[in-house]
Amino acid sequence: MEEEATRLRKPEKWRRGGRLHRFLVLLATRDSSRKRGCFLQSRACNLNLGLAEQVSPDRETAARGNDADNFSDVAGDIAQWAADNSRGGEFTKVLEAVRRDSGVVSVDTRAVLKQGRGKGARAQIDKVHVDIRAATPAQARVARALLQTHFKSRSELLRLEHARRSMEGSLSAFEREVSQGLRVQFASRPEWIGLLVGKAGSRIRGLRKSTGCSIEVIDGGGGGGRGGPDGSCGGGGGGGGGGHKAARGQPPAPSSCRVVICGPDAGSVQRAREQMELTEVRIAVNPQQAAVLGRLPRAKLLDLRQQSQCMVVDLLQSGSACQGRQQQQQQQQQQQQQQQNAPPTKNNSSSSGAVTGVMSVRVIGPRPTVDSARLLLGVVLEYMDRERELREGDNVVRGKLLDMQASFGHPGTARPAAWAAKAGRGGYGRRAPPPGTSPNSTGENREANQRDD
């Protein structure tokens, strides 16, 4: 009997709970369920959605396949969106629509919390597990595809919403900077780009360092041509229609220019703007003053520019274009061609370099320096007029004295040639008029000279 009992005893692999036993039970359950049309309750139909890794909102959710016994995870920003399942939000509606369309038994979710950092920090949602239970694998795959589509589309919407919120924040910050005076912009002349930037950018670098502001000179359109200190343009007209074409190998002149300043406080921005906002002033002078200024050495004008800290101080003719040396040279060439083509007459026999029109002194620089240059130039012109009047009066008196001494026969009283040359010109060396035609000689002196002849 004992041997019979031992022979009939089941082997270890056939015992209840063994691996082969579990496989046979699972196979029998699957076959019987297919015959009876029952729904499977096994975890073998718990398919992974493949949405477990979402690094950032601006990156699409990565899909990866896991084993069938693992729950699917939804992480990242859409985990917060999926966590409102208990509150009956949009995610609950999505799950209900997926269950209805795919025909699965249920679509369940479970949130996984993560403890926040720091003392007293609240737990936050880390992941959301999604469990799909379906009668057939085909239904589960359909439900999985629908959920993937919903989650990917929602992730893209979250990315766009995040970008819009970021842009709205930037816009509000920009508007706040403009309203508080932390950011300003103003237009400037294109030919002043060289003056604004300085030689090799030295001026703008110095202003950035002294004021702590971000200063940008934006060339708007025509190109990168920069004007020199004399206001000349480095090329033809602007990049728009109607401008002259630039020479080959030279960039076209810019059509517009604006300066943008951004700083930490309104005071720094205002100081930077005072130095970057240039002004041009032309001070009219009479012909006598223009003649004196024209004969002054260049060092005198340089001293005036250094004392006032202006950028440009020069003498110009108001009747000319005054838009740069290039245009002035073109006008002079045109005048020379017209004189060469015209027949020789008395009117055009004069030299082409004759100065006509009202002369003026041009001053370019920041407003405070321009005001200083105006005051300094006014003082210089005032003393120049007084000096010229004194010299003219001195020459008239000296000429009368010499004429009277010569009429009485005093020896060695002949008028020196240098004095005769200075007569009538305030002592600035004009060539003396012919004998007997000096405007300073009296009528008696002229009659005496005629009798002597």
Among 190, 48, 244, which residue's Cα sits nearest to residue 129? 48
In a domain, 63, yes or no: no
Indicate which CATH number applies to the domain containing 364: 3.30.1370
Residue 49 shares a structural domain with residue 135: yes
Residue 103 shares a structural domain with residue 191: no
Among 210, 224, 182, 216, which residue's Cα sits nearest to residue 197? 216
Greater pLDDT, 50 or 87: 87
For residue 272, name the pLDDT band (cuts at 50, 70, 90): very high
In a domain, 90, yes or no: yes
Residue 163 shares a structural domain with residue 198: no
Residue 74 belongs to domain spanning: 22-27+45-53+69-114+123-176
In a domain, 77, yes or no: yes
Residue 136 shares a structural domain with residue 195: no
Count of structural domains, the chain: 3
In a domain, 396, yes or no: yes
Q: Hey, CA dihedral for 198, 199, 204, 206, is it positive or negative? A: negative
Residue 96 shares a structural domain with residue 137: yes
- 383 pLDDT above the threshold of 80: yes
Out of 5-14, 159-168, 265-274, 395-404, pick the least confident: 5-14
In a domain, 2, yes or no: no
Residue 165 shares a structural domain with residue 188: no
Indicate which CATH number applies to the domain containing 186: 3.30.1370.10
Residue 100 shares a structural domain with residue 149: yes
Tell me the C-alpha to C-alpha distance, in Å, between residue 416 and each of 17, 241, 410, 419, 444: 142, 65, 15, 5, 20
pLDDT digits (tens, 9 = 90+) for 294-331: 777 676 777 888 888 888 888 877 544 444 455 555 65
Assess contact for 288 and 227: CB atoms under 8 A. Answer: no
Q: Hey, CA dihedral for 192, 197, 202, 207, is it positive or negative? A: positive
Q: Would you say how long the chain is, in residues?
A: 453
Residue 318 shares a structural domain with residue 369: yes
Alpha-carbon Rg for the chain, nearest whole angstrom, is 48
Residue 197 shares a structural domain with residue 214: yes
For residue 345, name the pLDDT band (cuts at 50, 70, 90): very low
56-60, Cβ contacts within 8 angstroms, sequence gap of 24 or more: 57/155, 57/158, 57/159, 57/162, 58/159, 58/162, 58/163, 60/152, 60/155, 60/156
Residue 366 shares a structural domain with residue 287: yes
Residue 262 shares a structural domain with residue 198: yes
Task: Enter the tokens of residue 287.
Answer: 């012909």
- Percent residues over pLDDT 90 in the chain: 10
Average pLDDT on 339-352 reads: 46
Distance from C-alpha of 125 to C-alpha of 114, rounded to nearest angstrom: 6
Residue 264 shares a structural domain with residue 328: no
Indicate which CATH number applies to the domain containing 152: 3.30.70
